[in-house]
Each structure stands twice: as C-alpha cells, then as structure tokens.
Structure 1
Amino acid sequence: MSNVDNSTGKAGLSEAELQELVAASDSGARAVPGTIGLFIAGVALVWSIFQILLASPWAPYLLPGDLINNSRQIHLAFAIFLSAMAYPLFKSAPKTYVPWYDWVLAIGGATLAMYGYIFYDKIVGNGGLADDTDAIFSLLGLVLLFIAAYRTLGPVMVALAVIFLLYVFFGASEVVPDQIRWAGASLRKAMSHMWITSEGVFGIALGVSTRFVFLFVLFGALLDKAGAGNYFIKMAFGALGHLRGGPAKAAVVGSAATGLISGSSIANVVTTGTFTIPLMKRVGFSAEKAGSVEVASSVNGQIMPPVMGAAAFLMVEYVGISYVEVITHAFLPAIISYIALVYIVHLEAVKNNMPTIGNKAVNMMNTVLGMFFFFAGFAALCYITQFPVRFITSMVPAGSGWVLAALLGAVYIGLLYLASTVPDLEPDDPNSEVVELPEIPKIYKSGLYYLLPIIVLVYFLMIERKSPGLSAFWATFLLFGILLTQKTLKAMFRGEPNAIGKVKDGLMDLVAGLIDGARNMIGIGLATATAGIIVGTVSLTGIGQVMADFVEFLSGGNLILMLVLVAILSLILGMGLPTTANYIVVSTLMVAVVVELGAQSGLVVPLIAVHLFVFYFGIMADVTPPVGLASFAAAAVSGGDAIKTGFTAFFYSLRTVALPFVFIFNTDLLLIDVTWVQGIIVFIIATIGILVFTAATMGWFLTKSRIWETVAMLVIAFALFRPGFFMDMIQPPYTAIEPAAFEEALEAAPVGRDLRVVISGPDFDTLEMKDLTVVLTVPEETGPARLDALGLALVPDGEMVALDEPMFGTPLSDQLSSFDFYGDTPVHISAVQAPANQWPKELMFIPALALLALIAFLQSRRAPAVAAARQKGVPA
C-alpha cells in the first residue's frame, strides 16, 4: 500500500518498493530464488564468518598465517564476487537469476583479486615487482574491479579512477599541460604499484575496510536484526512525540540512535522515515519539509560517535592517532549539530503553530531534563563499568575473563526477564486513524538489553583502549548470544509452549544478520579498493603537490577561499561517490594543501580538523541536489518533490556546513588541548552559539525576528564560536621577537610554552620563496640543548638567522622537508612570536550574551502581540 500526500496527491512508495530502493543502493537489487540464491547467501555468510575469525583474538590459532597476511585480497575477492551476484550490470539485466556473463566476471574478478595470494612466493621472489605476466593479469584485475565498482557504485567512481590511471600511463604526453606533466610509468611499474604491492588497490583504505569497517557494519546489521532499531524509534517517539512538532523531534533523536546501527544515510532515512514522515505530515509539515527533517537527521548519523561510518577508521590511519582520539574530537560538533536540528524542528513547529499528538501534558523542561539524564546516565554507566571490572581482575587475575562473562550473562538474563514482563514491541502504522503515543514507563523494559552490546563496544573502545576491530568483535560476539537466545528465553520466562522451538528462529535471525552485514559491505569494500587507485596515483606521480599549487593559485593564497574550494570539490565528487570514497579522494588530494596553506598564512591547523572538514562535506553530498540520494529516498517515502526536499534539507543542514569552518579556526570545538572544565564551558557556549545561529537562519527566536536582530544574532553566534577573533582586535595575541634573539628567547622560555616561528626559504620543487609557520613547544632540556632536542641547527649570517636541514627523526624534519636547504638562498627564520599576556578570550562572551539578552527582552515584549495577530489570521 502506498502513502499518499493529501496536499499534493502524490503517492509515496510502498514498503516493498522502499526496501528495494535501499537494496539497490546498499546491498544489491538482485534477489535470486532457489539453489543459486542459497549459494549466494552462503558465500555472504562465509565472508562474515571469515571476517569475524580474522578480528577475533584467536585468529592466529584459527586461521593460517598466509590467510591473515593476505586478508585484503580475500576481502576484495568476496566483494567482487558478491557484487556480480547481487547487483545487475545493466538496468535491463535480470534480477531473479544470474546471467552467464556475471558468473564469468564474478569468478574471474575473485580469482584475480587473490592473485597476490595465489602467487605470493613468486612475487616475493621478484622483490614485489611485476613481470610481464603479472602486469597483464593485474591490468585485467583492474578492469574487472572497475566493472564491479560500476555496477555497485555507479560510473563516477570508475571514471575518476580511470582518469588517474590514464595519467599514470600517459603523463609524459604532450597533450598533458606542462604544469602536471611527469615522466610516465611502464605497464610493469604501474601494475606493481597498483595491484601487486600495498600502495594502490590493496592499500590503507582497503586494509581499514578489512580490519575495522566490516565488523562495525556487521554489528549494526545484527543489532538491527535483534530489534534495536524499532526500540530506539519507539523510545524517541514516546519521549518527544507529545511535544509541538514531536514526530519531527522524534525523527531527529531516533535517527541519531539508529546511526549506531546503520552507516548508510539511505537505510537510515527509510528505517526511521517510514514511521516518522507520515506523522510529521499529520501535524502540519509539508511532504518536502518532513522529508528534509528526516534527511538532515539521518545523514548526520554518520558523524555521531562512537561508530561514525568507515571514514572514522580511515582517519585513524591517515592522521596517526587512536580511534578514541578521533571520536573525542568529533563528539562535540556532532552533539551540538543534533541539538540544533531539534531546535530547527521546534522553531518550524512554533512558527506554523502546529498541533500536538495525543493528550499527554506538555512539559518541555521535564522532557529536556529526562533526555539529558538518560544520556548522561548511559555515559556514566559506560564509565563506571571499569571499576567493578578492575576489582574482579585484581581479585581473580587468572579467571577474570570467565567471571566477567558470567556476570555479563547474568545481567543479560535479568534484563531479558524484565523484557518478558511486557509485550514485545511491534512497529506502529503511522497512517492509522488514531496514533497512540508509546508510554516510556511501559516500553523501556522491553529493550534495555539492547544497550549491553553498545556498552561493551564503548567500554572496550574508550576504557580498555582496545583496537576498533577487537572492540567490535566482542560487541558482535555478545550480539550472537542475544540473537540466539532472546526469543527462547523470553518464551520460557512467559511460560509459553514450545519455547525450545524458538532456538531455530534465533538461529535464522543470526544467519540473516550475518548475510545482511556481508551484503552491506560490498559497496564499501569496492569503494575503498577503487579509491586506492587514486591514492596510488598520488604517491607514484607526485601530482598531489601539483594539485596543491593549482588550488593555491585558484584561492590566491586565501585560506578561507581554499576551504570553500575544498568544500565545493567534496560536494561535486559526492554527487557520484559514496561518502567513504569521497573522503579518501578529497583527503588524499587536499588535506596536506590546506595544512600547508594554513601554515603559510600563520594559522596552524591540526590535521584532524582538516580531515573532519572533508568528512563533513562528504556526507553533505548525500543531501545536496541534484544527486542527493538520501533526499531522493525521503521523497520516495513522503511523496514530495525530490529536488525541493534536497534544497530544504540543505537549508536545515546549514549548521553542518558552518561547523567545519568554525572548528578549523577554533579547535576548542574539537576538544584539542582543553581541560575537563574548559571542555564543559566550550560545550555550553557552543550549544548556545549553535542555537543562536539556528534562530538567526530560521528568522525566528522568541517571535519573528527583525532584520537587525537576525544580523545581530549571526554576530553573536560568531563571537561565541570565535571569541579570539574580537579579542585579537583589542589585544595582540603574540609579542614579536627579533629572529637574532630567537636562541635566547628559547632558552629563557618556560617548559611547554609554544613559540610561533616563521620559516622562509625556497621551495624544494618550484624554488620560489615561501613562508611556513611552525609551532615549537619548548622542550624540557635547558640551554643550547633545547635547539638540539628540536633538531634545529642555527647558522647566524649577519642579521639573518639561517637554518641547516633538521636532523632526520626530529620534530621539524617532516615539517621543513619541502624547503630547499642546498640552494643559493638560505632557509632562515624571518619572524618569531611568543604568546602575549592577553586577557582571556572568554571575556568576549559577556557582551555577546548581553546583546542576546537584549534581543530576547525585546522579542518577549512583542511576542504576545504577534501571537494574538496570528490567532486572528493576520500575518506576523
């Protein structure tokens, strides 16, 4: 049955059509019955089992060493094989059986993916270099990879990879502009780099997909199969559904929760949207606005820790920090982004005087406090778990694992018994004549045990600091037990007949979850492999530096314009690339450029900030027309116009667009080098700032805003996010020191203090003069030994302080590697700055909040008159 929008008469897609839409994008639209269908499911099942064994602590005992060492090849072989089985090659290709040519492509692609595994001894004997035979088979492997990527990801990814590959072969051609021309590579050299070694297809990105991403995708599929998705949606609707615009607020919170389960924007839209979008339309949201709220909240599920999709794991490898640090830096922007989206929904409801659902008394303060205490309590529970664990570990060091497993099992059985005392949750029909709000006191018991795998995941990630793969393994291992036992134990607790017979149901759920997890990984595996060609091209040809020079030329050396260009590039590429591939491509080409240009502009930009910047705009591509897939999925549910839905969703996502620019210039938002107290203050102020920014963009605060109030609120938001900008106008943040006095200033500075030093000299590649700002943290050594600890060798030359090349392995060796230390013009220190005794930048919060209070006072005085006019039908 289709959903019909009463205002437009357009029909949304049926449930079956929506699931086919998700499948076509995420897991393959081909459904093959009979023996062949069982075989395909069996292959997916084997892939999941292999990945679970690979991630387990017993992998060295359960799997041969050569399988572990060549796991990337096996991972890609499964992905290529299943892509041919699950994704039709053409629109007209059969969807109920596998044609002969797909069997050829599947078997051929899987075999060539494992070429390095099959001929491992030969390749090692050749020193990792391809001979003529290797080169031919490698090229054929690339062709079959491109075919698999085309059918799974679309033509853009393939076209981009082919362009880069052609550049590898024909970079020396006269057709290529002089600025990017290079010597070119032979077929053997190119194929060695791209297919035989771990520099191209089988590089870092595919390694991350193999070691980490699969387990997290599988974790989400199993958690959803267990019933957690419906539980989270019900809880969100029960907590927020009675408020004005309640279904939309429930959609936001529910999508944030299901972001733990689904790394796919489209699946998130369909999972929560089939329930929330019709209810949003009931309370007054248009089809496009209802779809837009769902799109904005579902897409943001990818930036919500602790899972964050595949890109977070890639950041671990690219930035060189732990996964805990990545999610710590990403936490605050994600939280305030969702808070802002709830506020957007609230303002829409207030502006349009929308009705509420149900007869539950509305108490906004109690609701906000309830939500706060729930999430704070959950976080506290994850944190305090470490204390009983440590106690047991110290008391029973040899058998602590078994004791902890028994205690966890006892908690699970207790929570399951609690769940058996209430009916199982069934999905509601949002189109029924009477919509009953779930009552939290009656339903919360039914799914508390779903939190256990999440607690285990967070505990191992945050407290034990285990690897993401091992953390996901233990959480997934617990889900195995839940899926196998929950139905049987509930039936036993309820005294139902044939409780033991439900073991089979649990086993079928587990197998289905394992198959779904594998099918959901096909696109990610192929995206990371294909993106490896672009990464390999950059490392082989050095085109990254050329791209840097080109973008720097376009931006005129202006960092903000450079960031705008990077954002636009991410959005354009995202029109045809999945988020993960988009992130790999743009971060490979642009991150180093932004960091270097920032340093030349005197702004030291942390690497993680730029990676998160690229990631945020990568996910925005799922929203942005004309190819925003999440927007099309939401329009299919709502029956609204897809393009209009996309533009409205982009408007709702303005805070997601603004935040990356903010945290580039104010790294406090990423909780970099802040204490707990400072972190709390940053959270409070940032929340106020994002709410003020939201109110300004919506044109409504306590009532409809006047133009000057909107402008003032934008200024207030800017001051709250970047107080240092205004404080620097009042007091300079740094004191200038003559370069000749640098050594004395370094010796006199206290340990841990930062000195900003501008290094000038010729570029190693272009020989053009450039400036680079580096931050030197004063080491613990004293006197002249501090220079040695930093790797600096000063060569006084009159009034100039020249530098010798830093010693290898010292803090500055990598940062200054782009300078030519052996040319006629010496590399030298051109400026030194020490932090000045500036007033705390937080003082700027006082006038900003005072101005906000004035606006609130003025609006509160005219709000009653506006409300009365609206009651009479007079425009506000």
Structure 2
Amino acid sequence: MSEIEKHVVDAEAEAEARRIAAEVETGPREPASRFTTALITLLCLAWSGFQLYIAFRPINAIIARAWHLAFAIALVYLAYPLYKHRRPPFWLRGLQRLFPRLGTRPHREYVPVYDFVFAAVAAGAALYIWWDYEGIVMRSGLPTRLDVWMGVVMIVFLLEAARRALGPALPTLCLIFLVYTFAGPYMPEILRHRGIPLEFVINDMYLSDTGIFGVPLGVSTSFVFLFVLFGALLDKAGAGKYFIDVAFAGLGGLRGGPAKACVVASGLTGLVSGSSIANTVTTGTFTIPLMKKVGLPAYKAGAVEVAASTNGQLMPPIMGAAAFIMAEILGIPYLDVVRAAFFPAVISYMALFYVVHLEAVKLGIQALPRSELPPFLKTVLRGLHYVIPLAILILFLVVLRRSAIQSALLAIEALVVIMLVQRPIMAYLALGARRRAGTLDPETRLGAVLGRALLQGLRDIWDGLIAGARNMIAVGVATAAAGIIVGVVTITGLVGRFVTVIEVISLGNVYLMLILTALTSIVLGMGLPTTANYIIMATLTAPVIVHLGADAGLVFPLIAAHLFVFYFGILADDTPPVGLAAYAAAAIARADPIRTGIQGFTYDLRTAILPFVFIFNLDLLMIAGATPDGGIIWETNALKIAFVFVASLAAMFAFASFMQGWSGDRCSWPERLLLLAIAIALFRPGLYEELVPVPDEAVQAATLLLYGLLYLHQKARHRRRTAAQAASP
C-alpha cells in the first residue's frame, strides 16, 4: 500500500460520494437477483460490442442511432429506480393499498416487473426505426397511425427515462417546448406561430434526423461512446491511480502540495473523463483527506476538488462530449474546436493552481513530509506504459489528423494489449524478486501464476466494457431528450423570436445580453448535465450572441459564441443549491455541501470571466478574426500567440489575487482594486484606448511591468514584516 492510500477517506464517506455519483452517472441500482444483474451486464457488454463493431464496420447512421438509444433507454429503466428516496411517492402508496406486495422490496436492490416491461417497450419504440426503416423513408412526411403512436410512446418513455437518469429539469423543459409547438396560436405576439399538428411533430421529432435522432444523438453514437469507453478502460487498467500518484510524488512536497496535486491529477483525469462528478469521486477519494491533513479546512478541501474536477470538462480532447457535438453543429473539423479551446483550458487550470498556492500561503499550510510521498522517478517509471495509448490518441488525432473514430479505436486497441500483458509481466517480475530474495515457495508454478494474472487482465477489460456502457447511459438519454428541444426550435423558427425577446430585454446592449446569456446557462445547468445544457444553449442563445453582436458592429465567430455558453454551463456543476459535484466532494470531506459549493464557485470565478475575455479578445482562441458569416480566420503569428497567452495568464493571476486578497503579501483594498484594473487592462486593453492612445500590445506590456513591480513591492514588504516578527521577543 502506498503512502497516499494510507490516507484514503473512511469507507462510509467514500460510499456516500459514490452513491451521489451513481445517482447521476451509472444508475444507483445494484440488484440482488442474479438474473437481473446478468441481464444488465449482458446489455452493457452488448452495447460496448455494438459500438466497437460499427466503428470498424459503419452502418446506416439513423439505424445506428436507434440501436444506441435502445441500449441507453433500456438500461435506464433497469439501472435507475422509479423514485430515489426510500419512501415511495404518494400515488404508489395508494396503489400499495390495493396491491399490498407492490413496491415492498428495496427499490435499489430489486427491479420490479413493470420496469422490465417499460425497458422492453421503450427499446422497442427506438428499434421501430430500424425495423421499418425502408417504409419510413418511402413515406417520408406522411406518417401512418402506427408511426404516430410509436412516436408518442417514444417521447413519453424518453421523458420518463430522462427524469430518472437526469432529474426533472430536462424533461420539464422538453414538455414546455412541446406544449409551445401546439399552443403557438395562443402565445403572446412576440412568440406566436400557427401551431403544428401532431402528425408533423411526430414526423420531425421521431421519424427524421432533426429531433430525437438528430445531431446530438448522432455524435453520442459515433464519437462520444468510444472516448468514454477509452476512459473507462484506462481507469480499470490503473491509469487513474497512476495520475494521482505522479501528481503527489511531484507536487506533494510543495507548500499546499496535496491541493496542487489535486489540480494536476484532476486535469490529467479530465483529459479522458467526460464527467465532473465522476472526476470528483475518482480523485477526491485520495486528494481531499490529504488536503485536510495538511491544514486545509474541510469545505475548502472539497471546494478545491470540485473546482479542479469541474474544469476537467474544459480539457480537450473530450470536453464533456461537447467538443464533438460542437464540431458537428458548427460544421467545422474537430481539431478546430480543440485548437480554440486549448489556451482557455490551460490558463484556467494554471490560474486554479495559483489560487491554491495563495490559499496555502494565507493559511500557513506546510508541505507533506517527503517520507510520506512516493519517490518521483520510481512512480513515473512504474506506470509509464499508460502514456502509450494517450500518446497514440494524440498522435493520430492531432499530428496525423486521422478521424476521431479511427484515433479512438487505435488507442483502445493499444490499451487492451497493455491490459492483457501488464499483469503477467508484473507477476513474472514479482516472482523473480521473490526467487532472488529466497522467499519463493518451491511449489509455485510459473504457468499457474501467469495464467491467473492473464485472467485478471481479461477481467479488467470485461469490467472496463461494462463501466464504459454504464457511464454512457445518462449521456445517451440526455442527447436524445435534448434533441426534442432542438427539433422544436427547428420546426417553429423559435431562434428568430428568441433573438427579438433577448434584444428587447437587454435593450440592445451587447454586454447586458452576454450577462443574461451567462445567467441563463448557469440556471439551466443547475438541473441539466453539461452536454444537454450546451446543446440547448447552442441552439437558443449562441445564434443570439452572433446576431446581436453583428447589430452592434461586432463580428463574433460562431465558435466563440458556442464556447461562451459551454463555459457557463460547466460552472453549474458547483453552483448551489444543485451542484452535484459539490455534494459528492462534501460527502468525502464531511463538510457542508452548500458551503463547499459556494467556495468552489468562488474559486471558479476566474473561469467565469474567461468567456467574456475570449469573446472580445479572439487572440486567446488563436483566432485572428471572423468572416461576416461567422467563419474563422486563424492566427498564424506564433510570437503574437505566445504574448497573448502570457498576458492572459498574468491577467488571470491578477484577478485571482484580487479575489483572494493576496499576491506577494496581504493586499490592502487600494492594491486589490489596482490588481482588478491590471486584470482588465491585460484582458481588454481596448477599453483604455480613449485614455491611452497607444497600441493594445503597448498597454499590455506596460501593465505587465506594473504588475511585476507591484508583486516585487509586496514580496519585499512581506519579507520585512516576517523578519520583524522573527526579531521581536
């Protein structure tokens, strides 16, 4: 057992955190019945197998989406109970009076008969598209009565599945939009439309690729599943624990080292994790107890983990699945999304690292003793083979510019080989060490030991395939349900009306419009997973940003508008009162979840200002400008890109110091206000154009010099005060 594992949180707190994660990610049910367990396991294995098969041998896109949704929705009804609390809802208690045995067993350990029926009906409604695909194509636009009934069944069961897996927010929102399609003639004039008959609604929502089986579900089917599966296999191989060990070995000896290691470990995990909650539980189990050990208050330890894990969704290549959906919606190469998102993500993490350092200095937190940390070089070398599949993914995706599907498949193949051989190799080396030490039992048979190790490697692959599918349940249902809203917006022309509404509310002011959009994204995100939140906001508000920006004489590229709403959707994961990542971290830290969420949001305020920065300062996205239609003109000047990166990073550091009240020393209020002015000048030098008629680069260079002088002044003051305190009796 490593030194880090000795400080793992107690089993009760860990179990509570994993329960919170399971409520959202994989389903809280753990059936006692062997039949039910076997059925769920087989469905997960079949789903993973199907996704790997269509990656090797592509089939019709709509049919693939139908099977993808069928697996996801069936697993929802088997893995997520009808209600979450121990006490049944009032209507079920009424039925229990008539049928005393109904719902009397523990709802987390038992799958009732009606859920098997619901799973079969819902999956059948999804697979109807596959079963009668040619007929549906032939009668396109003219649905039969059976088509309409199957569409109604699909929508009803999808909304219930979304309620179980994601909570009430998304299905409620879908219902509001569906009502709007029929109630159009009775709406206020600004939102009024002629109304749409049920047959047309079902045709667009169910029988075409503009609704449930639209782009979001298509991206989930084509790309997202493979990357989530890759992350699950990487975790089962032991890479997650390896990332944590390396981060602690390298940074644990610094002031506030466990918190800094938490930031780095969560960033590394975020490369392949699409969930802030799963990231929180995976890394927080090890990092939070160690942060508490060195003196960080429990709620702040949880908040650091929440902020670090939430920002994991900013990290390419997955970005919480949004990178692929963004590329499809915008019709641009996936690598362009990664390119634009790279600098903001790196700057956000480096700024969080600095925030953690400031907290450690303010609280007087010391480093962990070196004796409690694993040796750095040995730790790095121990799991260096985990870098191979990641290197293959980046090589083929970024350097060789292969498709995301092919790159993910090659990375998965390399990872499977590693999982098969790593345990036999480790077992062989361990036997050799015991033989040299003279402790090997003479009756130990090499073949038997290697065989057991190989079987364990196969079991790891088996578990990874199951975990990958279970991690995709909520994503599959979320993308399908969000497709309903996308479909309503498409068939009703709601975007144009929404532009008018926002323009009226914001009085045509671009800044006020952006603030309203940001607040809307955060509020929606409190009840929606990041992926669904992004899809909705990209459909409704991203076009508003571009349109109203153009009216104000500003040309915003579409990708900047989409990244803007995506960032604020992410912040909802630690925004009270609903931030589920904060609840998971608070369970591990044994802290108040509301206080943990508020502190985490405070840490994440540096992320909240980034979207306002890059939408006006496109250089941060490596964009030189935009065409009138929102297209991208990429920046190619490496020196300018480097300068923008340095200036933006310094601005984030200055803003973090303003928030924390500490830079080289404790800041007075005039110094804090000066730091805020420095951050603004570095981010938006054009705001000072009337006062200082010089180029923006000159303003930023002078501001960097001022920031450096202020820091050195505060550092010297801190040393003088420390020396005076040491000299005083």
* Residue pair 2:170, 2:528 contacting (<8 A) in 1 also: yes
Deviations 1:38-94, CA, capped at 9 Å, x for gaps = 1210110010011011122xx05xxxx45x551001100000000011111112462
Aligned with residue 567 of structure 1, among 486, 510, 518: 518
Which residue of structure 2 aligns with residue 337 of structure 1? 348
For the Cα contact (< 8 Å) 1:129–1:196, is it kept in 2?
no
The match for 1:850 is 705
1:620 matched to which residue of 2?
A: 571
Deviation at 1:723, TM superposition (A): 2.3
C-alpha deviation, 1:494, in angstroms: 4.2
Say which of 256, 280, 289 aligns to 2:291. 280
Q: Which residue of 2 aligns with 1:444?
A: 380
Matched, 1:35 2:35: yes
Corresponding residue for residue 280 of structure 2: 269
Separation of aligned partners in 1, 2:233 and 2:726: 50
Counterpart of 1:159, as a letter, is: T
Describe how 1:742-761 pairs up with structure 2 within 5 A: none
Counterparts in 2 of 1:170 and 1:865: CA distance versus 1, 3 Å: same
Q: CA deviation at 1:171?
A: 1.4
Q: How many angstroms apart in 2 are the aligned matches of 1:117 and 1:463?
A: 37
Q: Which of 325, 339, 353 pairs up with 2:336?
A: 325
Instruction: Tell me, in whole angstroms, the C-alpha distance in 2 between the residues paired with 1:581 and 1:869.
Output: 57
Q: 1:426-468, CA deviations, whole angstroms, 9 ceiling, x for partnerless residues?
A: xxxxxxxxx7111112211111010011111111111121222
1:339 Cα shift?
0.8
Mapped contact 1:13–1:639 kept (Cα < 8 A): no
| Alignment map for 1:574-653 (pairs within 5 Å) | 574-653=525-604
Question: 2:325 and 2:136 mapped to 1: Cα distance?
Answer: 28
8 Å contact from structure 2 (residues 251, 258) kept in 1:
yes
Deviations 1:844-872 (A, max 9, x none): 12321232233234323421344357779
1:867 aligned to 699, 722, 727, which one?
722
Aligned to 2:98: none
Contact 1:12-1:635 at 8 Å conserved across structures: no
**RMSD over aligned Cα atoms:** 1.9
Number of matched residues? 674
Distance 1:584 1:124 in 2: 27
The structural deviation recorded for 1:724 is 3.1
Which structure: larger Rg?
1
Matched, 1:683 2:645: yes
Residues 652, 873 of structure 1: alpha-carbon distance in 2 compared, 3 angstrom cutoff: farther
Aligned to 1:203: 214
Aligned to 2:462: 511
- Give the match's secondary structure for 1:159: helix
CA–CA separation in structure 2 for the residues paired with 1:570 and 1:840? 35
Structure 2 residue 174 is the aligned partner of structure 1 residue 238: no
Deviations along 1:478-523, whole A, 9 cap, x unmatched?
Answer: 1111222211132234446321232111111101100000000000
| SS of equivalent to 2:295 | coil
**Distance between the aligned counterparts of 1:294 and 1:873, measured in 2?**
39
**Contact 2:564–2:611 (8 Å) recurs in 1:** yes
Matches within 5 A, 1:369-768: 436-495=372-431, 497=446, 498-673=449-624, 674=635, 675-727=637-689, 730-731=692-693
CA 1:873–1:579: 2 relative to 1, 3 Å: farther
Inter-CA distance 871–182: structure 2 relative to 1 (3 Å threshold): farther
Could you give the per-residue CA deviations for residues 684-718 of structure 1, whole angstroms, max 9, x where no partner exists?
22222211221121111110111111111111111
Partner amino acid for 1:677?
L
Contact 1:229–1:261 (8 Å) recurs in 2? no
Which amino acid letter does the alignment assign opposite residue 53 of structure 1? Y
Contact 2:317 2:323 in 1 (8 A): no
Secondary structure of 1:249 counterpart: helix
Q: State the secondary structure of the residue aligned to 2:450.
A: coil
Task: Tell me the distance in 1 between the aligned counterparts of 2:712 and 2:423.
Answer: 57
Task: Please state how far the C-alpha of 1:536 moved relative to its aligned partner.
Answer: 0.3
Higher relative contact order (CA 8 A, sep 6+): 2
Displacement of 1:274 in angstroms is: 1.3
Find the aligned partners of 2:548 and 2:24 in 1 and give their Cα distance. Answer: 38
Equivalence for 1:217: 228
Distance 2:548 2:409 in 1: 41
AA of the residue aligned to 2:283: T
C-alpha deviations, 1:611-668, integer Å up to 9, x for none?
A: 1111110110001001011111111010111111111111111110010000011001
TM-score, scaled to structure 1: 0.75
Q: Who is 2:45 aligned against?
A: 45
Residue 777 of structure 1 corresponds to which residue in structure 2? none
Amino acid in the other structure paired with 1:78: F
C-alpha change, 1:622 and 1:13, in structure 2 (3 Å) is farther
The corresponding residue for 2:54 is 54
Give the CA deviation at 1:22: 1.8
Residues in 2 aligned to 1:215 and 1:864: alpha-carbon distance in whole angstroms: 53
Q: After superposing the two structures, state which structure 1 stretch, 23-32 or 484-493, moved more.
A: 484-493
Counterpart Cα distance in 2 of 1:539 and 1:180: 14
Letter in 2 for 1:336: I
Q: Tell me, yes or no, if the aligned pair for 2:664 and 2:712 is still in contact at 8 Å.
A: no
**TM-score scaled by structure 2?**
0.90
Matched, 1:22 2:35: no
1:155 to 168, 173, 180: 168
Tell me: CA distance 1:473–1:540, structure 2 relative to 1, closer, same or farther (3 Å): same
Are residues 1:98 and 2:111 paired? yes
The one-letter code matched in structure 2 to 1:291 is G
Output the CA distance in 2 between the equivalents of 1:507 and 1:180: 57
Q: Counterpart of 1:704 in 2: which secondary structure?
A: coil
Q: Runs of 5+ in structure 2 lacking a partner? A: 1-8, 87-105, 433-445, 625-634
Does the 8 Å CA contact 1:12/1:636 hold for their aligned counterparts?
no
1-side partners of 2:492 and 2:220: how far apart? Answer: 25
1:226 aligns with 2:237: yes
Residues 16 and 588, structure 2, Cα contact 8 Å, conserved in 1:
no
The answer to whether the Cα contact below 8 Å between 2:220 and 2:475 also exists between their aligned partners in 1 is yes
State how far apart, in whole Å, the 2-side matches of 1:856 and 1:121 are. 70
Change (3 A) 1:220 1:871: farther
Paired with 1:500 and 1:334, the residues of 2 have a C-alpha distance of 44
Distance 2:417 2:245 in 1: 24
Structure 1 unpaired stretches of 5+: 1-9, 361-434, 732-838
Residue of structure 1 equivalent to 2:97: none
- Mapped to 1, the partners of 2:708 and 2:470 lie a distance apart of 53
Matched residue, 2:179: 166
Q: Identity over the aligned pairs, expressed in percent? A: 48
Shift of 1:469: 1.9
**Match for 2:158: what amino acid?**
L
Quote the residue 1:89 is aligned against.
Answer: 82
Between the aligned partners of 2:224 and 2:691, the Cα distance in structure 1 is 46
Assess if the C-alpha contact under 8 Å between 1:460 and 1:471 holds in 2: yes
Partner of 2:67: 74
Equivalent residue, structure 2, for 1:356: 367
- Deviation, 1:95, is 1.6
Secondary structure of 1:499's partner?
helix
String of CA shifts for 1:100-134, please: whole Å, max 9, x gaps.
11011100000001111111122122124312221
Match of 1:792 in 2: none
Shift in Å, 1:170? 2.0
